Amino acid sequence: MERKKINIVWLKRDLRTQDHAALYAAEYEVTPYLIIYLIEPTIISYPDTSLRHLQFQYHSILQMQSKLEAANQKVHILYAEAINAFTYLNEHFEIQKVFSYQESGIKLTFNRDLAVKIFLKENNIIWTEFQRDGILRGIKNRTGWDKAWYQMAHSEQFKNIFSESKSIEFVNPFPLAGEFEQELNKYPREYQPAGEDFGQKYLQTFTNHRAANYSRHISKPLESRTSCSRLSPYLAWGNLSIKQVYQALESAKNSGKYKRPIDNAITRLHWHCHFIQKFETECEYETRFLNAAYNQVVWNKNDEALQAWKEGKTGIPLIDACMRALWQTGWINFRMRAMVVSFLCHHLFLDWRSGVYHLANLFLDYEPGIHYSQFQMQAGTTGINLIRIYNPIKQSQEHDPNGVFIKKWIPELQNVPDKYIHEPWKMPLMEQELANVRIGTEYPAPIIEPEKEIKNNRDKIWAFRKTKSVKINNPSIVEKHARPRKKSI
Ligand SMILES: Cc1cc2nc3c(=O)[nH]c(=O)nc-3n(C[C@H](O)[C@H](O)[C@H](O)COP(=O)(O)OP(=O)(O)OC[C@H]3O[C@@H](n4cnc5c(N)ncnc54)[C@H](O)[C@@H]3O)c2cc1C
């Protein structure tokens, strides 16, 4: 039987229907095309992936379906390894071209892409991979990177259209199992809603009014929940492109409203890509110390403390409130992310790798390029960045002075007076009775004394940082990963 000629659009972290280069290119061709999204068993069973990521992807796709159905188009979700999916598709169709975005992911997805590349080449299929958000493939250093990024950010957006004549009849041979699909379909209301319409809505409300307090509240665990843009999951899964967000922020800024705070948000958008670019150049540091000298450090081993950190049961209220908020909602602000990592690595003195996948799983906005770089920066294992040791008690007093955030996430501490909310273990027994919480019973006693551990570990951390073995690695890290000092634009 003659195989029908088709093209394929392979969606990855680009789950939107507008400003989409791959969908645009496919629509431009005469040949009809199939849109696929792969849920690959090997990839979803890797420790960096969690159900909430898959739920976000699934619901983003549902929203795409609602926009594609008028053109009789659809995203076909194939539960299969990439090679198996492409083999099947190539047996049943004559695939001419595959369009996708480049993926700056972990080694596992990078290797998957290499295998797909070989397969497609052997079968004379052309694979066009578009640049994602200004991330450049194969560059040796960062000269000229900023300039190219701004050019990308200012360039025209793709205005995607979908025509019925380009759709194809297709019966999915790798459907999701019923129970699994039900799991994906459930979407906790505490998470940010998924999909490009919601991304646009968050963008609009940010530029219309939420940006007003952006800079002032950026470090506050409670207030930042509404004053930060909250665009991160939409960017991570590609519900929005960087270009869409950049241009909307620029336009709001030019209208004269919230100029300063919006400028700050634009700077962070640039960081977003700067970090992903680092990871694109060297994805090994998902598991490897950026500065190899840190292999020599003898970290503590303490499974109980690690578990308490993961579950939000350390007895240090702000740390626990952050972890519990993350469990339930998938988001905390930058400062609190940095603080929980600092607590893990500087106070408990545990290897950063013992906690890195845990937070990846909890973050609805998990983006490998940002996550591993930021984690290592906060853990202080890059050798080139300032080491910030956050005191969780001070952070609590400064950024949640009345314990409103703490009490929201730790109901056990509901009745604790302000005076003790940051250090409830200091409450006399009588006060504990009155507050209806016994420390060590209803709420844990602290697993460490933060002040004491900081004292113990600070000198150790800084002394190691100053050793020759750390310094010797620094020039090559700066050369590869740091931006040139002088701004190109
Ligand atoms: C240990 C650690 C791990 C992190 N892991 C992730 C991650 O997996 N995914 C992720 O998107 N962010 C990560 N961040 C960065 C940052 O905390 C989040 O991007 C930010 O809190 C998201 O909230 P927002 O969208 O309201 O950000 P806003 O402050 O409104 O910023 C706008 C956008 O800029 C980008 N951005 C903001 N801050 C940073 C930053 N410090 N570095 C890089 N990009 C930034 C994000 O895309 C964000 O959506 C991590 C930070 C730390 C300390």
Ligand 1 atom at minimal distance to the Cα of residue 359: 3
Assign 286 a pLDDT band (cuts: 50, 70, 90). very high
Helices (H), 142-241: 145-154, 178-185, 196-208, 214-217, 224-227, 232-236
Q: How far, in Å, from the CA of 334 to the mean position of ligand 1?
A: 6
What is the gyration radius of the CA atoms in the chain, in angstroms? 24
Q: What is the pLDDT of residues 468-481, one digit of tens each?
A: 888 877 777 777 77
Ligand 1 atom at minimal distance to the Cα of residue 232: 49
> Residue 228: CB within 6 Å of ligand 1?
yes
**Residue 124, C-beta contacts closer than 8 angstroms, at least 6 positions apart:** none
Residue that the structure tokens 């992903």 belong to:
276
Which domains, and CATH codes, for the chain?
Answer: 4-130 (3.40.50.620), 140-155+196-279 (1.25.40.80), 292-481 (1.10.579.10)
| CB 427, CB 435: distance < 8 Å | yes
Give the pLDDT of residue 411.
Answer: 98
Q: State the average pLDDT over residues 306-311.
A: 98
Ligand 1 atom at minimal distance to the Cα of residue 366: 8
| CB 345, CB 379: distance < 8 Å | yes
Give the pLDDT of residue 470.
Answer: 87
Pocket test for ligand 1, best of 249, 268, 373 (most atoms within 8 A of CB): 268
Residue that the structure tokens 């972990």 belong to:
106
Q: What is the pLDDT of residues 341-399, one digit of tens each?
A: 999 999 999 999 999 999 999 999 999 999 999 999 999 998 887 889 999 999 999 99
The CA distances from residue 255 to 242, 248, 270, 307, 466, in Å, are 20, 11, 21, 49, 48
Give the pLDDT of residue 489.
Answer: 35
- DSSP string computed for 391-430: -HHHHHHHHSTT-HHHHHH-GGGTT--HHHHT-GGGS-HH
Opening angle at CA 424, ends 422 and 429, nearest 5: 155
Pocket test for ligand 1, best of 215, 217, 334 (most atoms within 8 A of CB): 334
Give the pLDDT of residue 158.
Answer: 98
Chain-centroid distance, C-alpha 372:
10
